[in-house]
Structure 1
Amino acid sequence: MKLWIMRHGQAHAMADSDPQRTLTARGHQEVREMAIELIDQPLEAILASPYTRAQQTAAEVVDVIGYRRAVATVPWLTPDDAPMAVLDFLAERSEKELLLVSHQPLVSQLISLLVEGNRQGHYPMATASLACLQLDFAAAGVAELLSLQAPAELRR
């Protein structure tokens, strides 16, 4: 499986609740810039956190890449979910190419768990960062990190 992991774009600091925070104009732009990396990738599914900023991020990706399926909203991709629980859900997936749209600290902890077998590795995931991992099956410590890019790196 090729697993893409994207952190939501920059979001407003204030809202009635954390799940309701929306993307800023810059957040929309940085997601669109990063989504270009996914053009021509044969994504079979996009799974996103139910939080507004993750839903908006997924919608921008869909628009940029011309994705024709619905984005699946899953409750196990929120900021405080356990990376091991995500791994359990991934083990049930059959897709060969999958995009997860989520939050910190979950995204960096999940990458660490997949690559190193623990959650202590340091994988910086600025807003709208995109990581690509290759794994034969969903288990701790078996993935190869193919790439990890932040929007700022694209502007060099």
Structure 2
Amino acid sequence: MKVIIMRHGEAEMFASSDSERQLTAKGVDGNLAAADKLNAQGVTQLDKVLVSPYVRAQQTWDNIGHKFDTQNVEVFEDITPYGDADDVLQYVCAIAEMENLDSIMLVSHLPLVSYMTSVFASNATPPMFVTSGVAVVDFDPVKRTGEIEYQL
């Protein structure tokens, strides 16, 4: 299965709370460029999308959702910046089996995107993510092993 892990686009520096920070114009452009690169790699259909409840992650999905064929989008409270990557792995493995998923996208934040990539890619060194950065992992939810296919 493909696990696509995306960091939200560039966000404003200040808001009344971290969860309320909004995307900048540069963040919107970066999101669209990342989605176009994914499409060019053949990623056009997603079985499921999990999005952080934070405004900038929600806006990221709102920017790029039209670039993918999917009807299954869920706000997932566990993928905020300091979520637990092992808990996310457990959840994704469970829903992959229940829903027979071939692909899933996770729209989240630093540092969690790095840690999630590391657990899905069989304990690879956590990679750095630029804003609107993406890692695509070829993951076997039964064996719970995977490899990074590419990073954008």
Q: TM-score, length-normalised on structure 2?
A: 0.88
Tell me the alpha carbon deviations over residues 103-153 of structure 1, each in whole angstroms, 9 at most, x when there is no partner: 0000001111222437xx24010100011000111666x11100011xxxx
SS of match in other structure, 1:143:
strand
Answering whether residue 85 of structure 2 is matched by residue 60 of structure 1, we say no
Mapped to 1, the partners of 2:51 and 2:68 lie a distance apart of 17
Match of 1:108 in 2: 114
Structure 2 contact 8–132 (Cα < 8 Å) conserved: yes
Unpaired segments ≥5 residues, structure 1:
150-156
Structure 2 contact 46–70 (Cα < 8 Å) conserved: no
Mapped to 2, the partners of 1:5 and 1:44 lie a distance apart of 14
Answering whether residue 95 of structure 2 is matched by residue 93 of structure 1, we say yes
Amino acid in structure 1 at the alignment position of 2:93:
A
Tell me the alpha carbon deviations over residues 44-92 of structure 1, each in whole angstroms, 9 at most, x when there is no partner: 11110000000000111113x1535252111011000011111111111
Question: Kindly, what percent of the aligned residue pairs are identical?
Answer: 32
Mapped to 1, the partners of 2:16 and 2:72 lie a distance apart of 27
Structure 1 contact 47–101 (Cα < 8 Å) conserved: yes
Identify which of 71, 75, 81 aligns with 1:79: 81
Match of 1:117 in 2: 123
Structure 1 contact 114–139 (Cα < 8 Å) conserved: no
Mapped to 2, the partners of 1:122 and 1:99 lie a distance apart of 18
Residue correspondences, number: 145
User: Alignment RMSD, CA only?
Assistant: 1.7
| Runs of 4+ off more than 4 Å | none
Q: TM-score, length-normalised on structure 1?
A: 0.86
Answering whether residue 49 of structure 2 is matched by residue 43 of structure 1, we say no
Unpaired segments ≥5 residues, structure 2:
none
Structure 1 contact 87–138 (Cα < 8 Å) conserved: no
Gap change, CA 1:60 and 1:133, over 3 Å in 2: same
